[in-house]
Homo-oligomer: A and B are copies of this chain.
Amino acid sequence: MKKLVNNPDVVVDEMIDGYLKAFPKLVEKVEGSGRALVAKQSLHGNGKVGIVIGGGSGHEPAFMGYIGRGMADGVAVGNIFASPPPQPIVEATEAVNQGNGVVYIYGNYAGDIMNFGMASDLADMEHDIKVESIIVRDDVASAPKREKEKRRGIAGEFFVTKVAGAASARGDDLSEVVRLTNKANESVRSMGVGLTPCALPQTGKPSFVLGENEMEIGLGHHGEPGVEKGPLQQADDVCDRLIDDILNDGDLKAGDDVAVLVNGLGSTTQMELFIMFRRVEQRLSEKQINIHRSYVGNYSTSMEMGGCSVTLMKVDEELKALIDAPAECPLYAQYE
């Protein structure tokens, strides 16, 4: 493990420091907080529903890169692969609250559930802020359909955040933002493959071990064990495995529209991601499923892990409008 760091114990703080200095016009730290960041445009008091995201770090550009116009308003940044504690979550909540409620979006991990849960209790009890929580569970590899509530949240959280951010940006009220975000969350499915591990700066140990020519299907975004190890196959075959599992799990049919995200885990090149996307498009067009909009790149990484995930979100007219809405964040921007 070779990393460009100073002291492994403070990598997250130094990262945040650099991030804030790189984008002083777009983001700032909540005063007095170390780990709660907000988008400057979210502090205008226009009465919008607040969107707070967060989780462990190590997934950059997620989550801190996704605060800004049309996306989330605030983010709580945890240590690497560790949910943030309640305090920065509450701080972000207070900062973005404009009196019309706040929505939390986070992945389905015990740590996040407990910490965001405690934070929402505190926000309610101590600050009288109404909080609704949406827990992302897009990873179809992580549990069978009948145990959907167990599934982990992975790259699909990008789409869920996009929908929530766009709905709140156009002025939808809390119940409408929640309805749409839940709909996005119900409609999104992902499946990933891991090729090479990442290493925590503090231990320097690889997060998992695979043979020279092995891949692992369904590997978690923090190196948690997946569902199946096997010899590395050609991109199209790997892609077929991912796509098949996603299609078998959902109810996509000819004529449906989807948003697609082919997400790199860190060290997998954009060239490989496009080769994977190419196959996704072939498979979907065979099934006459129409791609409404595509995202290909590192949207939610696991530090320098090698591998990728494929995410499909079924979109109807109202979700299409939200996916297409403009967004301007430090680490991601799109035009309509």
Contacts and interface: CB of A to CB of B under 8 A. Distances in A.
Contacts of A61: 270, 297
A11 B113 CA distance: 42
* 8 shortest interchain CB distances as A-B pairs: A18-B278, A18-B274, A267-B267, A60-B270, A22-B294, A18-B277, A4-B272, A15-B274
Contacts of A44: none
Contacts of A14: 274-275, 278
A5 B276 CA distance: 8
A5 B304 contact: no
Taking residues whose C-beta sits less than 8 angstroms from the other chain, chain A's interface range is 35 or more
A18 B296 contact: yes
Given A14-B275, A335-B333, A213 B2 contact: yes
Chain A contact surface mostly: mixed
With most chain B CB atoms within 10 A of its CB, the pick from A22, A277, A308 is: A22
Nearest to A328: B335
A196 interface: yes
27 contacts: A2-B195, A2-B213, A2-B232, A4-B193, A4-B195, A4-B307, A5-B234, A6-B234, A6-B235, A14-B274, A17-B274, A17-B278, A18-B276, A18-B277, A21-B294, A22-B260, A22-B274, A57-B271, A60-B270, A60-B274, A61-B297, A65-B270, A266-B267, A266-B269, A267-B267, A269-B301, A297-B331
A235 B4 contact: yes
Interface string A184-202: 0000000001011000000
Interface in A229-266: 232, 234-236, 238, 260, 266
| Copies of this protein in the complex | 2
Given A303-B269, A304-B267, A333-B335, A275 B6 contact: yes
A281 interface: yes
Interface of A: 2-7, 11-12, 14-19, 21-23, 57-58, 60-61, 65, 193, 195-196, 212-213, 215, 232, 234-236, 238, 260, 266-279, 281, 291, 294, 296-298, 301, 303-304, 306-308, 328, 331, 333-335
With most chain B CB atoms within 10 A of its CB, the pick from A60, A61, A232, A301 is: A60
Given A22-B277, A296-B22, A2 B303 contact: no
